[in-house]
Amino acid sequence: MPVLVACFKWVVDEAYIRRTSAGELDLSSVSYKISDYDRNALEEAARMKEASGGSVLAVTVGVPESTKGVKDALSRGADQAFFIADPSFGMLGASETAAILAEVIRTRIGNFDLVLCGEGSSDLYNQQVGIRLAERLGIPCLSFVQKLELEEGRVVAERRLEDGIERVSAPLPAVVTVLPDINIPRIPGVKDTLSASRKPVVTIGKDDLAVAPDAHFRTISLAASRLDRQCERFGADETDIRRFIGALRQKGVLR
Amino acid sequence: MAGIWIFAEKTEQALELLQAGQLLLAAGMGGELIAVTWPGGPRPEDLGAAGAAEVLLLPPLADHQPLESYGPSILEEARKVQPNLLLFSSTARGKDLASRIAEGLNAGLCSGCNALHWNSESGTLEMERLLYGGAAVQRIAPFTFPVLATVPPGTFRRGTGNPDREATIRHLPAPPVSPVSVLEHKPKERKGQDVMAAKIVVCAGRGFEKPEDLAFARNLADTLGGALACTRPLSEEMHWLPEDLCIGLSGIQVKPDLYIGIGVSGQVQHLTGIRGAKIVCAINRDEQAPIFAAADLGIVGDLYAVLPRLLQALNETAAP
C-alpha cells in the first residue's frame, strides 16, 4: 500500500491584491487559499489512494494562521497532516522550505513511496521546492508532470516539455511536481469538511527542527507591478468598431 | 573572479543569456563568460561567436537518459570553479537543472528573473522577478555567490555575434547514470503559426460558449495574419485548445505588436503573460472586467455581436 506525501502551501489569493495610488502593494483585503497547483498535488494523491489504497499525508510549512489550510487539505482526501508552523515562516525562500520539508519527511514519516508537489506556488512561483526537496532526500525527481502512474516499485510519468512529451520512469521513493492539467481538484463537500476536523494533525514548531536554513536573498524592494496602458474605450456599434480599427492602424500595429 | 556561466537548450536562448552576461561583465562584474553545452545542444562555434570565452562541453548522454542527468557533472565543475552567476534559460529542463545545481551548491536561485543589474559601487547583483501571479515586482540581491537565475526566453535581446571569435573548449566528465530513464519522447506537433513569434496574437477566453465558436477567433487571427492563443480555463478545464497555446505566468509569455483578448476577463496570471505586448486590446461584454484596466483599447460589447462586425469592417477597409 503506497504512502503518498502531498506538500502544499497556504498563500495569499492574488486576485484580491490591490495597488495603492502611490504604487504600493495593498494586501489589506486579501483572503488566503491552498496554492493552486498544490491542490492538484493533493487531488492526485487522493485519487491514487482511492484507486489503489494506501494513505495520503499532507505536509505544509507556514505561519500559525495556515491552520485553515491544514483543514482544507484534510477535506481534500488527506488522512493526516503535518503542520510545521512558526511566525517567521511567512516568506521563506525555496531552499529553506525544501530543507524543512526534507527534515520532517525524513524524520517524521520515514517510509514513503511518493512525494507530490505542485510545480510552483501561486504566490512566489519559484518552481524549486519539489526539485530541491528531492535533492535533499537523495531521491529521483520527475518535474512538470501532466500524467502519473504507480507501477510495481516505480513511478511512470509524462512530463510536458517545450519540445514535446517525455515519458519517464523512476524507482520509488521519488518526488514528482505536477502541472495544473493533471486533474481538476475536487471541491470539498460538507461531509468532507466535517470529517476533516476529526483527522489527526501533527504540529511541529521551529524548535523541534534540527535544520535552521538561512535565506539566500534579501529584498531590496517590493512594489505593485505597473501596467501602463491607455485604457481607451469603444462601444460595440459599427461606427465605434471602425474607429477602433482606425486607432489600431494609426498605432501601426495593423495594416 | 570566476565569471558567469550560461546554459540553454536552444541556441537563440543561449545567445540571449550570453548578451545578458556580457552586459554584466561590462558593468564591472568581473570574470569571463562561459557556456555549458552538450552534443545536440547549442554549437560551441555559435557560443564562441556570441561572446563565450570558454565552452564546457559535456559528453553525449547514454541512451534513455534525460537531459537533467547532466546535473552532477555541471555541479561538480561549478563547485570547483565557483562562478559568480549561473544563468539558465527557463525551459522546463532548464528550471529543473538550475534547481538541482542550486541545491547542490547551497546557493540561491532567482526564478523567472526578468532584469539583472550589477551595482558596481556596492558590489551587489540586483535581480528582479514577479510575485503573486505578476501583481508585484520584487527586487532581490543574493547574500552570497555563486547565485543562479532562470531567465524566461525572450527577456533579453540577442547580441550581434562575431564569427571570428572562438571559444576554447574544455571537456567535462560524463555524469553518473541517473535512476530516471526516458521511455518515450513524443515530439510536439507543429500546427499553425508559432504564437511566441507572432506579431499579432488573438487570445480566446472564457467568454466563448462553445468550442465551435472559437472559429470566430481563428477567423480573426487568419484575417490579421496572426496566431490564436487562449487563457488557462480553455486549455486546462475545457481542453478546447492545447496547453502550449495557453498564455500566462505558468504558460507562455508573448511579446506581439498587437494582442487582442476576446472574452478574456484578465486574471493577473494571464496579464503577466502579455506584459510585453506593444498594444493590448480587449473585447468583453463586462465593462468591469479587469482586462480593461490592462488594455490600451477596449470594446465593451458581446463578442458574438462584435466579432462579425469587426471582421466585416476589417475586410471592407483592408488595404488593397
8 Å CB contact of B275 and A215: no
Task: Determine the Cα–Cα distance for residues B41 and B244; give it in Å rounded to an integer.
Answer: 22
**How many C-beta neighbours within 10 Å does residue B287 have?**
10
Contact, B109 vs B102, CB < 8 A?
yes
| Burial state string for B205-236 with b = 16 or more CB within 10 A and e = fewer than 16 | bbbbeeeebbebbbebbeebebbbbbbbebbb
pLDDT of residue A23: 80
pLDDT of residue A18: 85
Cis peptide before A173 (omega within 30 of 0): yes
- For the record, the C-alpha cell of A68 comes out as 485553515
Mean pLDDT of B259-285: 94
Classify domain B195-317 at the CATH class level: alpha beta
pLDDT of residue B124: 95
Mean pLDDT of B129-149: 95
Portion 124-153 of A in contact with B at CB < 8 A? 124-128, 131-132, 135-136, 140-144, 146
| Burial state string for B65-93 with b = 16 or more CB within 10 A and e = fewer than 16 | bbbbbbbbbbbebbeeeebbbbbbbbbbb
Looking at the DSSP assignment, which residues form a beta bridge with residue B89?
A: B151
Contact, A59 vs A74, CB < 8 A?
no
Classify domain A3-208 at the CATH class level: alpha beta
CA B171 to chain centre: 28
CB nearest B92 (choices: A143, A220, A232): A143
Q: How far is A21 from chain B (nearest CA, A)?
A: 14
Total number of residues shown for chain B = 320
**B97 pLDDT higher than 90:** yes
Who's near B151: CB < 8 A, 6+ residues apart?
Answer: B16, B17, B20, B87, B88, B89, B90, B113, B114
Who's near B280: CB < 8 A, 6+ residues apart?
Answer: A229, B259, B261, B274, B294, B295, B296, B297
Q: How far is B32 from chain A (nearest CA, A)?
A: 24
Q: Residue B160 gets which letter from DSSP?
A: P
Q: Residue B60 gets which letter from DSSP?
A: P
**B192 pLDDT higher than 70:** no
| Tens digits of residue pLDDT in A126-173 | 999 999 999 999 999 999 999 999 999 999 999 999 999 999 999 999
pLDDT of residue B69: 98
| Tens digits of residue pLDDT in B300-313 | 999 999 999 999 99
Sign of CA dihedral A238, A242, A245, A251: negative
pLDDT of residue A255: 76
CA B136 to chain centre: 19
- Asked if A98 is an interface residue toward chain B (Cβ–Cβ < 8 A), one would say yes
Task: Determine the Cα–Cα distance for residues A17 and A4; give it in Å rounded to an integer.
Answer: 34
Q: Is A21 exposed, middle or buried (0-12, 13-18, 19+ CB in 10 A)?
A: exposed
- For the record, the C-alpha cell of A178 comes out as 505536477
Task: Determine the Cα–Cα distance for residues B258 and B268; give it in Å rounded to an integer.
Answer: 19
Q: Is B27 exposed, middle or buried (0-12, 13-18, 19+ CB in 10 A)?
A: middle
Task: Determine the Cα–Cα distance for residues B178 and A143; give it in Å rounded to an integer.
Answer: 14
pLDDT of residue A227: 74
Task: Determine the Cα–Cα distance for residues A14 and A26; give it in Å rounded to an integer.
Answer: 11
- For the record, the C-alpha cell of B210 comes out as 462553445
8 Å CB contact of B268 and A169: no
**B30 pLDDT higher than 60:** yes
**How many C-beta neighbours within 10 Å does residue B118 have?**
20
CB nearest B296 (choices: A119, A230, A240): A230
Mean pLDDT of B43-63: 96
Task: Determine the Cα–Cα distance for residues A65 and A207; give it in Å rounded to an integer.
Answer: 18
- For the record, the C-alpha cell of A129 comes out as 521546492
| Tens digits of residue pLDDT in A225-244 | 877 898 999 999 999 999 99
**B319 pLDDT higher than 60:** no
8 Å CB contact of B279 and A248: yes
**A220 pLDDT higher than 90:** yes
CB nearest B142 (choices: A144, A216, A247): A216
Closest residue of chain A to B107, computed from CA coordinates: A216
Identify which has the larger pLDDT, B243 or B88. B88
**B279 pLDDT higher than 80:** yes
CB nearest B92 (choices: A132, A161, A252): A161
pLDDT of residue A130: 98
**B104 pLDDT higher than 70:** yes
Closest residue of chain A to B102, computed from CA coordinates: A132
Average pLDDT, chain B: 94
Total number of residues shown for chain A = 255
Percent share of chain B, pLDDT over 70: 98
CB nearest B96 (choices: A143, A234, A248): A143
- For the record, the C-alpha cell of B32 comes out as 569571463
pLDDT of residue B113: 97
Contact, B201 vs A253, CB < 8 A?
no
Who's near B63: CB < 8 A, 6+ residues apart?
Answer: none
CA B251 to chain centre: 9
- For the record, the C-alpha cell of B70 comes out as 547532466
Who's near A157: CB < 8 A, 6+ residues apart?
Answer: A142, A145, A147, A148, A149, A167, A168, A169, A170, A176
8 Å CB contact of A229 and B102: no
Looking at the DSSP assignment, which residues form a beta bridge with residue A145?
A: A159, A178
Task: Determine the Cα–Cα distance for residues A157 and A150; give it in Å rounded to an integer.
Answer: 9
8 Å CB contact of B102 and A143: no
- For the record, the C-alpha cell of B264 comes out as 478574456
| Tens digits of residue pLDDT in B203-261 | 999 999 999 999 999 999 999 999 999 999 999 889 999 888 999 988 888 999 999 99
Backbone angles phi, psi at B271, to 5 degrees: -60, -35
8 Å CB contact of B103 and A95: yes
pLDDT of residue B236: 86
The full set of domain ranges for chain B reads 4-171, 195-317
CATH 3.30.700.30 is the classification of domain B4-171: no
| Tens digits of residue pLDDT in B156-165 | 988 888 889 9
8 Å CB contact of B135 and A17: yes
Identify which has the larger pLDDT, B43 or A28. B43
3-state secondary structure of A255: coil
Average pLDDT, chain A: 95
